[in-house]
Structure 1
C-alpha cells in the first residue's frame, strides 16, 4: 500500500474492515472531543481573525507534526458540523454549550459563509465549525490528494446549507477538479469512492453530463454491469397470473478482496415501513430469482444511490420515473446497509411515493421513522458520517421539509404549517396560508420577522404575500443592488400578471447575478416566446435544458425559437432531444419531418414519415414527399454531403406505404412513378395517377385539367419510346386515356389548357400512327 493510500485511509475516515472501523471510531470520538474544545487551537484562529491570508501564513510556519494535529482538528470540526446538521444525533451537551457561548456568535460566522450575496440557511448550526474546517483543509497541507478530497467535501457541504445554487462554489469546484492530485497507483476502490463523491457534487449543481461521466467511470472500475429488463412477477396479493414487470439485473465481476462487512445492529437503523395495504405487496414478487452474483459493499451501494439521484434529476417526473428507479432502491435496501445509505434510499423512495395516493401514508410514516432515528444515540455519530458525502445526505431541516411536503399532499395543511414555521420556511408558510385562505396572516408573520431583522429575502416574501411591487424594490436596494432573489421575485410577479415584456429585464438581471436557477431560465424563455423575442427565447431554453435535459416542453420550445431565428440545424437537434422525452407525440414528429426536409436530412425524413404513419394511421404531406422524391431522383447531396440516391429503395418503400393508404391521390402516384425501376411499371403508376386525378367533376377545375394533361404527356412519351412494342396492351390503354382527356377538356375550353390540349393531341396522333404502322407490318 502506498503512503498516499495510508494517509487516505487515516484522514478520510475510510474503514477497511469492521474491526478496524470499530476501534478507529471509538478512538477518534475521544480524540475529536478533546480537539474540539481545545482553547489553544481556537485562540490561534481568533488571533488571526479567521482571515485566509493570515491563516495561510500561520500554517506555513509550523512543522509537519503540528500540521497533522491541526488537520485532525479540522476533521473534528467538519465531523461535528455534519453530525449537528446532517446525520444527527445532537452534539454532546458540553460541546453544544461550548459553541453556544458568546465567543462563537453564529451571525458572524454565517456571514463568512455567505456566497453570492446569499446567506446560509437560518437552521444551520455551528457555522464556525465549517468555516474552520474550510480554512484548515485549504491551507494546512499534509497530502495534496487528502487535502483536495476534503476541500471537495467542504464545497458539497457548503452548497447543501445554501438555499440557492452558488456560481462561486461551482467555479471553486471546477478549479479544484482541475488540480486534483490523483496518484495512478491508488487502488480502484479509492478511485471509485472519489468518483462517487465527485458525481454527487456535480448532481447537486445539476451538472448532469459531468456527473454521468464519473458514474460510468466508477461502474467500469468496480466491474459492475446492470440492466433493466422485463420479468414475470406479481404486484398484488390476489394476483393469479404473473405479468411482465420492470426488474434490475446486476452482475459484479469480482468479489471484494477486503472484508467490508457492515455489522450494524438492525435496531439501530430506521425500519423499512411496510405499505400496509390489503392488496398491494411491499415489493414485486418475481417468478424467478434475479439476484446478483455477490453482495454489494457500501461503496457499490453508494454508487447505486448516486445513480438514482441522477435519475431523479434527469428523468421527466412521470409515472415511468418511479418504475425505473424503484428496482435500484429495492436492490440497495435488500442489502446490509449502513445508517446513512439506508436513510438516503428511504428518503428517495418517500419522494417518489408522494405522487401515489395509495402509498402516500407509508411515505409519511417512513419520514417520521427517519426523523426519530436521526435523534437516536446509536449507531455512533462517526459511523454515520463516513457515508454522508457519497450518498448526497440532505441536511436535517430538508428532511423535515420533505416530511411537511408529504403532509401537504395528504391535505394536512395546518400540521405542515407548524413544521414550516418552526423551520422559518416563509415561502412555504405563504403557500399554507394561501391554501387556508389566510394570506393576510402570512404577511403579518413575515412583517414580524422584518421588524426583528430586515433582509432582502424577507422583503421579497412580503411582496409575494401582499402583491406589493415596492417590497421587491426595497429588497433590491437593501441588498445594494446585488440580490438575484429580489430581481427574480420581481420578475416572477410581473410574469404571473402576464406582463411578459416587463418581466424579461428582471429575469435577465437575476440570471446575470446567479445563472444556476433553472425555473428562472424557463420563465424567461416562455416570456420571450410570448413576445416573439426569438433569440432570447432560444438562449433561455438552451440554458434550461442543461439543467433539465429530459424536459420535453423546453426542447420543443427551443426548436420553435431556433426555427424563427433561422437556425434549422439547431432546431433539428432540439426536436430529436424532445422526442427522447416524448416519443409518441405526433406533432413533434411532424416538426422533425419538416425541419429534416429543410436541411436535406433525408434519412430522418423517411424515419419521421414512417413514425407519423404509425401514430396517425393516415398522414399525408405532399410537399415533403415532393422534395424527397425530387432529391433522390436527381441524386442531390444530402446534409452529410452524400448522394441522396442511396435512399432510393427506402423512398420506394415509403411511397408504396403512402399510396396503399391513399389509392386515389393522383399526385402521390405521379411521384411514385418517378421511382419506378422499369418503364412499364412507371406507365402503370402514371395511369393510377390519371385515375386518381379524374375522380368526380375533375374537368370543371382548370388546375386539375392541367395535371391530367401533364400525366397524359408523360404517358405518351413512354409508349412512343422505341423500346415499347406497339402490340403491348399499355399502348392502347394510354391511347384511350389521352383520347378521353382531350374530349373532356375541350368541352370546357379553358384558356390555361389550350396549349396542353394541342400538345397531347399531337402525342395522340403519334400513338395512333405507331399503331397503324404496326398493323401495316403485320398485314404485309
Structure 2
C-alpha cells in the first residue's frame, strides 16, 4: 500500500481504522476489518502476528535457558533489544500493533475481559521456543517473566507502570511494532502511523504513576498530518468527502489536546480544542435561559445552559449494535428492591447498550433543569438563537468528545469555585442528553459523579453511580468495537484508577475502612499507608512497606488480602517489583521515618540505577529543608532532567538557586515552573526578582543554562532575598541592581502576570510599583500604590492590632516621583500638537498622568490618612502646579496643623532642632499665604484664594508661640517669631 493510495479517499481502510469505522463489506476477512470489528484475538493469533511474535519468544528463550527453572520467575528479559521484521510487511505490522494496543485497552479500560493470555499467545505463535507441558500444568513462571519484563520495558523516565495492569505485554508488542515502523520510515507510506504512535504513547503514559512529557518529534509529526488534512479538505469537491477529512483532522487535534492536558500544558490544550471544534463544524456557547431546578420553584430563574449544534448531527454515531444484553435488563438486576438508597436505577429510562444511569429521586431537586423558555435569553441573534434549550438536537459523537474535553479544560484552567462547577455541569448535561456511545456516556456519567460529590443532596447518587461504572467493566452490554471506537478521544480512567477514585470518595465521606479495602485491593501502597495513618495504625503502615521491601510478599499480601474480594487483578502473576516501583517504596519508607530519611532516599536512588525522579525530588527537598542549598539544587536538577513535569520541583530548584545568588539558573527554573503552572503567582514574582538581578549578557543563556553541565559550587552562602522584596535597605524604592532595560521590562511583565493570580497580595503590588517606576510606567505605579493602600488598610482594620501609620504603608519616594512627573513635564508638551509624542509618554507624565495622581490623592490617600503631613505637602505641590491656589494653601495649612503644628507634636516643645524646623516651616507657610492668598482661587475663578489669610496666619503664629514660649522665649530665634507676629498685626491695621 502506498501513501498516494491512502490519500485518495477518506474511507480507505487506513483512515477507517483511525476513525474506528468498518472498512468495506467485501473486506470482512481482511486484517483491518477484523481489527475494526473488535476481533482482536483472531488478529493476534493470525499468521501475520506470529511473524512478529516469534522474535520476542526467541529472545525470552535465549535469556531464560541459562537460568534454572526454579529461578525463572525472577528473570527480566530486555525486550527493548528485540528487533521485529517489519520490512515488506508494514501494513500487517500496523494492523497487529493496533490490535495489540486495543487488546490492552480492552483489558484495562473498556472491558469486557479478553480470554487470551500473553503466554498462551506466545506459545501458539512460537511453540518451539518453550518446553512442552501437560494440560494440567500452568505457565506461572513464564507468566511472571512476561509480566515483569513488560513492566520493566514500560518504565519511562524513572516512572514505573502500574504493576497490576493486565497483560502489559500487549502494549509492549504495540510499542515495539510502531517503533519498528517509525525506524523503517513507514510514515512516508502510512500517513496514520503518527496518530497510532501518539495513541500508543498516550495509553503508555496513562499507566505510569506520574505523567511524563511527550516527545516533541511525535507531536510535530501529528501537526504535519493535520496540515496535510487541511490541504485535502480544501481540494475536496464533494461535501461528504470534505466532512470526513475535517472529522479526521478534528480527532487528531482533539487527541493532541488531551495529550497536552495530561502534561499540564493547558494553554496549548485550549487552543487545540477550539481548533478541533471549528474543524468538525461544532458551534457552542454558554448562555442563559429561564428555567426551574427544584420541584417547588414557582418562578423561573435564569439558568446556565450550553447551546451546541453539530455540522452533521449523528454523522459518526455507532452502527446497529447486535449485542444481546440490553441495558434495561441489566438495570432490573442492578439493584434489589427496597435497597434503602434514595438514588436508584429506573429500568424504563435506560438506553440499550449504554451504562446504567442512576436517577436522583430527590424530594427537592429535579432530575434535570426544566427550561420554561424556548430561546436563550442572551443568545445573539442569528447564532444558535434558534435552539430550544430544553430540546436541543443530537450532536455528532466527536463533538460530544470535544465538549467533554472542554469541560475538563475548564476544570484545569479555572479555580475551584461554584461557578466553575456550574460551567462544567452545563457541558456534561449537553452531552448526557443524547447517549450515543458507551465510552462517551461513561465519561459523561463519571464527570457528573465528580461534580455531584461535593453537594449533600447529590453525593449519594455520585457514589452509587461511580460504583456502577466500576462494576460495568466486565459486562457485555455493548460491543467491543463500540467501546473502543472513541476511546482515544476521551480521558477515560483505567479500571484501577476508577477504583482508586471510588476509594478517595469513601475517604472524603469518612468511610476509612472501605477506602482502605479498595486501596489494598488495587495495591496502591502509598494510599494504604495514608489510610492506616488516619486510622491511627501508623506502625502497621511501616510494617507493610518493610515487608514488601524485604521480599516477604506472601506474608504481606496474606495480611492485606484478608478482606480482599476476588477481582480480575488477582489473576495478575505476582512478581518482584521493578526498579522504579522498588525505589518508590524506599522513598515512601523515608517519608515515614524522618530519622533515616536521607539513607532511605539514597538507597532508592541506588536501586533505581539513577533513574528515579521521586528519589531525587525527595533528596532535594530533604536538603532544602536543612538549608543545604548547593546539595538541594544538585538533586533537584537531576530530578527535573529525568522528569520535567513537576512545577513544585522547578519552584524549589529556583528558590535554591536564589539562595545561592545564581540568578540566571533561578530565572530559568522559574520560567519552566510558570510554563507548567501558569497560575503560580509566587513563581512569576520570583522570576521578576531574578530578572532584576541578572546581567544583559546572560539573557541569551536563559533557555540553555539548565542543559549545561552542573558546575561544582562550593560556596553555598544564602542570600537574604526570598524573591518577595525587590528593594534595598539603602533605597527602598529602587531596584536591587542595575539590570538592563530589557530585563526590567521582562520583570515588569512577569509581575503583571503574577498579579492576575495574587491580586490581593500587597507585597506583589509593591514589587510591581517599584519596577513600574523604574521602567517609566508611572500610571501603573499609581494604580499599584492605590491597591497597596486599599489592601493594607483593609487588613489593618480587620486585625486586632492598631491601625498602621501612613509612613509604613505609603512609599513617599514613589509618591513624590509621581507628583514630580506631573509638575515637571516639558512645558512644550501641550504647545505643539503636531510633535511626535508617544502614547506611553503622554500617559506617564504631565497632563496625561495628572488625573491618575489626582484620583490617588482624593479617592485613596487623603480619606484614609487625613492626618499625615507628608501627604498634604505632596498634594499641595500638585495643586500649585495647576494654579489651584485656594486648595493648595488649605493643604499646606493642614500639613502644618497635622505635623509640627499639632498639639501632639511634643518634640517641638522639648527639642530645639525640632522647634527650629517647625519655626522655619511656619515662616514659609506665612510667606506663601502673603504671596498667593490674593491670587485667583483657581484658573476658572475670579475670587481670591484666601481673603482672610492674615487672620489664619496670625492665628497659626500666636498658637505656636503660646505652645513654645516657656521653652524657647529666650532663644535668639524667638525674635523672628516676634517680628513675624508684629508684621501680621501691622498688616491688619
TM-score by length of 1: 0.83
2:207 is the alignment partner of 1:185: no
In structure 2, relative to structure 1, the CA distance for the partners of 1:722 and 1:449 (3 Å cut) is: closer
Number of the residue aligned with 2:885: 682
How far apart, in 2, do the equivalents of 1:216 and 1:277 lie? 37
CA separation in 2, counterparts of 1:352 and 1:76? Answer: 35
- For residue 591 of structure 1, report the CA deviation from its aligned partner: 5.3
CA offset digits 1:165-203 (Å, max 9, x no partner):
234x44454454565464121432221111110000111
Residue 253 of structure 2 is aligned with which of 195, 201, 226?
Answer: 195
What is the CA distance between 1:459 and its match in structure 2? 2.0
Matches within 5 A, 1:258-297: 258=315, 260=317, 266-289=351-374, 290=376, 291=388, 294-297=393-396
1:775 matched to which residue of 2?
A: none
Q: 1:96 to 1:296 in 2, by over 3 A?
A: farther
Correspondence for 1:419: 518
Q: Secondary structure at the match of 2:948?
A: helix
Q: In structure 2, what is the Cα distance between the partners aligned to 1:457 and 1:576?
A: 39
- 1:776 aligned residue: none
Q: What is the CA distance between 1:543 and its match in structure 2? A: 3.2
Change (3 A) 1:197 1:449: same
Per-residue deviation, 1:767: 13
Q: Which runs of 5+ in 1 are unaligned?
A: 773-780
Whole-Å separation in 2 of the counterparts to 1:280 and 1:417: 33
Distance in 1 between residues matched to 2:311 and 2:114, nearest whole Å: 40
More helix by share: 1
User: 2:561 matched to 1:561?
Assistant: no
Tell me which of 27, 35, 40 is aligned to 1:32.
40
- 2:932 maps to which of 689, 697, 718: 718
Shift of 1:668: 3.7
Look up the match of 1:216: 274
Whole-angstrom CA distance in 1 between matches of 2:647 and 2:664: 18
Query: Measured at CA, do residues 730 and 108 of structure 1 come closer, stay the same or move farther in structure 2, by a change above 3 Å?
Result: closer
- Which residue of the partner structure matches residue 42 of structure 1? 50
CA distance in 1, matches of 2:972, 2:664: 51
Partner of 1:205: 263
Residue-pair matches, total: 763
Structure 1 residues 200-233: Cα deviation after superposition (integer angstroms, max 9, x where no partner): 0111111222212212222333454544456555
Greater shift, 533-542 or 393-402, is seen at 533-542
Question: How far apart in 1 are the matches of 2:952 and 2:165?
Answer: 89
**Partner in structure 2 of residue 777 of structure 1:** none
- Greater Cα shift, 482-491 or 628-637: 628-637
1:59 aligned residue: 86
The CA deviation string for residues 281-304 of structure 1, in whole angstroms up to 9 with x for no partner, is: 444455545456643211111111
Q: Displacement of 1:689 after TM fit?
A: 3.3
Q: 1:407 aligns to what?
A: 506
Contact kept, 8 Å, 1:148 with 1:181, in 2: the verdict is no
For 1:74-473, what aligned pairs fall within 5 Å after superposition?
74-92=97-115, 97-98=120-121, 102=142, 105-140=146-181, 141=186, 143-167=189-213, 169-171=214-216, 173-174=218-219, 176-177=221-222, 180=225, 182-183=227-228, 184-186=231-233, 187-229=245-287, 233-242=291-300, 247-252=304-309, 254-255=311-312, 258=315, 260=317, 266-289=351-374, 290=376, 291=388, 294-452=393-551, 453=576, 455-467=582-594, 468-469=596-597, 470-473=599-602
| 1:600-625 C-alpha deviation (Å, 9 max, x unpaired) | 42332344455567766799736243
Per-residue deviation, 1:665:
4.8
351 and 597 in structure 1: CA distance in 2 versus 1, 3 angstrom threshold: farther
1:474 pairs with 603, 606, 623, which one? 603
Aligned twin of 1:15? 21
Give the alignment's Cα RMSD to 1 decimal: 4.5
Partners of 1:764 and 1:236 in 2: CA distance: 84
Q: Is 1:510 the equivalent of 2:510?
A: no
Pair 313,727 (structure 1): closer, same or farther in 2 beyond 3 Å? closer
**Which runs of structure 2 are paired with 1:483-502 in the superposition (5 Å)?**
483-492=612-621
- The SS at the match of 1:165 is coil
Corresponding residue for residue 71 of structure 1: 94
Matching residue of 2:714 = none
- Counterpart CA distance in 2 for 1:243 and 1:585 is 37
User: Using the alignment, how far apart are the partners of 1:589 and 1:340 within structure 2?
Assistant: 48
Contact 1:338 1:384 in 2 (8 A): yes
Residues 663, 692 of structure 1: 8 Å contact kept: no
Q: Is the 8 A contact 1:119 1:162 kept in 2?
A: yes
User: Aligned equivalents of 1:592 and 1:261: distance in 2?
Assistant: 56
Please report how far the alpha carbon of residue 593 of structure 1 lies from its aligned counterpart in structure 2 after TM superposition.
4.4
In the alignment, what sits opposite 1:644? 845
What is the distance in 1 between the residues matched to 2:352 and 2:759? Answer: 46
Q: Does 1:5 align with 2:208?
A: no
Q: Deviation at 1:370? A: 0.5
Structure 1 pair 163–758 and aligned structure 2 pair: CA distance change class (3 A): same
The worse-fitting range, judged by mean Cα deviation, of 84-93 and 564-573 is 564-573
Question: Conserved in 1, the CA contact under 8 Å of 2:23 and 2:33?
Answer: no
User: SS at 1:516's partner residue?
Assistant: coil
What is the CA–CA distance in structure 2 between the aligned matches of 1:670 and 1:611, rounded to whole Å?
A: 22
Encode CA deviations 1:529-553: one digit per residue, 9 max, x unaligned. Answer: 8999987776555433332323455
Q: Distance in 2 between matches of 1:241 and 1:176?
A: 55
Unaligned runs of 5+ in 2: 1-5, 60-77, 124-138, 234-244, 327-350, 377-387, 552-575, 689-721, 727-735, 738-742, 798-805, 827-836
CA distance in 2: counterparts of 1:537 and 1:462, whole angstroms: 31
1:778 paired residue number = none
Distance across 1 between alignment mates of 2:301 and 2:853: 40
- Residue 649 of structure 2: which of 520, 523, 529 is its match? 520
Note the alpha carbon deviations across 1:445-498, whole angstroms, 9 max, x for none: 223322333622222223334443222222222223332222223445567789
* Residues 89, 54 of structure 1: alpha-carbon distance in 2 compared, 3 angstrom cutoff: closer
Contact in 2 for aligned 1:236/1:279 (Cα 8 Å): yes
C-alpha deviation, 1:400, in angstroms: 1.1
Q: Distance in 2 between matches of 1:5 and 1:710?
A: 89
2:857 is aligned with 1:655: yes
SS of the residue 2:493 aligns to: coil
Match of 2:948 among 729, 733, 740: 733
What TM-score results when the alignment is normalised by the length of structure 2? 0.67
Are the counterparts in 2 of residues 233 and 242 from structure 1 also a CA contact under 8 Å? yes
Partners of 2:667 and 2:781 in 1: how far apart? Answer: 24
Task: Between 517-526 and 499-508, report the one with greater CA deviation.
Answer: 499-508
